[in-house]
Amino acid sequence: MEIFWYIVLMFMLGMYVILDGYDFGAGIIHLFFAKTEEDKAAITRSIGPFWDANEVWLIASGGVLFFAFPTLYASSFSGFYLPLMMILWLLIFRAIGLELRGQVNNAMWHKIWDKAFGIASLLLALFFGLALGNVVRGVNLGIVENGISTQEPLYFFVPLWNPEFSPFSEHLGIIDWFTILLGLVAVVALTIHGANWVIFKTNSTINQKLKGIVFKLNILLCVLIVVSVLVWGMVNENPLKNFIKYPLLFIFPFIGLFGLLNLFRVQKFKKHGAGFLSSSLFLFGAFASTAAALFPVLLPSTNSVNPSLTIFNTAAHAYGLSVGVYWWVIAFILVIVYVIVQYKVFKGKMDNVPYGHH
């Protein structure tokens, strides 16, 4: 049952990355590349009916984590308390930026909430990349100092950064050069994803410009991915061991690579949705590859005193996991029906669907 719930959790997180990821990317595009009111309106229209529903996947993932792996939930929410509160505030500012922008017909008011929406989207993409970097790198479980555990084995606390700014320090921080690298990967990847969504859902005059931006950013993304994979081998010993042991898992990197390379053809795509499909495949492949590489570890320990948190030593009782399957299936069916209806109602271009504007 632990493996089943691990797959469920990773699937739901992957859905969140793909669906809310284009929201963040659209916000970054809005911040840096939308120069006219028409362009800004087109971007907010493209995500207007979807962004709040997309965030349900994050809430649902948190619920699954709490139910299936309560020990990990308790450990990580205490250890990552500070960045989690920052993410919560960024989600709030991003939401009110979208909702309040059109409440007052004033240029200064619009500018304030445009910046709130764009900056919050950028920082959220960065912080979620930093979060992935912390999970991949691991944390100092038990806060070991000089080979001695000073706290309970499941406890840790991570400040925003450490004086060494290094992933090899005994006292780790949320931000170091390795997690920053993965944060940049997330920002670039989600910017591409958001641009593809805007192209897919609008006929905006900015679309042709966005195709050129996607092509250029994809070159940068390829470089960042190569560097991050090489560096990952320095931070974690033998990160590809699961792929060597189970060669079938290579299907996930191949899916991600196919989507990534296909993005270089974005300027030649005749169907506007092809770019969004390609960036979705890349995000799915990259996220699934990371989950496959870490399995069965959920949160690595950077010391040899306390063991890593895995799906086996953090899972709830087997009876609870079994009973929960029935309730999850019911909830999942309801969510899927809702998503299908929502995307069917708002099928096609969103140019004539006003959102948050006078």
Give 98-154 pLDDT, tens digit per residue. Answer: 888 777 777 788 888 888 999 999 999 999 999 999 999 999 998 888 888 888 888
Residue 307: exposed, middle, or buried by beta-carbon count in 10 A (0-12, 13-18, 19+)? middle
Share of the chain above pLDDT 90, in %: 49
Q: Using an 8 Å Cβ cutoff, are 357 and 41 in contact?
A: yes
Q: What is the pLDDT of residues 80-91, one digit of tens each?
A: 988 889 999 999
Predicted local distance difference test score (pLDDT) of residue 355: 66
pLDDT above 50 for 238: yes
The residue extents of the domains of the chain are: 2-345
Q: Tell me the pLDDT band of 239, cut-offs 50, 70 and 90.
A: confident
Out of 200-214, 236-250, 283-297, give the one with best mean pLDDT: 283-297
Mean pLDDT for all residues in the chain: 89
Predicted local distance difference test score (pLDDT) of residue 271: 85
Distances (CA, A) of 350 to 20, 113, 279: 17, 21, 20
Q: Using an 8 Å Cβ cutoff, are 17 and 57 in contact?
A: no
Distances (CA, A) of 163 to 70, 137, 169, 171, 176: 32, 17, 9, 9, 10
Q: Using an 8 Å Cβ cutoff, are 55 and 20 in contact?
A: yes
Predicted local distance difference test score (pLDDT) of residue 358: 42
pLDDT above 60 for 356: no
CA distance 56 to 309: 26
Q: What is the pLDDT of residues 313-347, one digit of tens each?
A: 999 898 889 988 988 899 889 988 988 888 888 88
Helix (H) or strand (E) holding 339, with range, is: helix 318-345
Calculate mean pLDDT across residues 243-251: 92
Predicted local distance difference test score (pLDDT) of residue 147: 82
CA distance 46 to 42: 6
Model-level pTM? 0.91
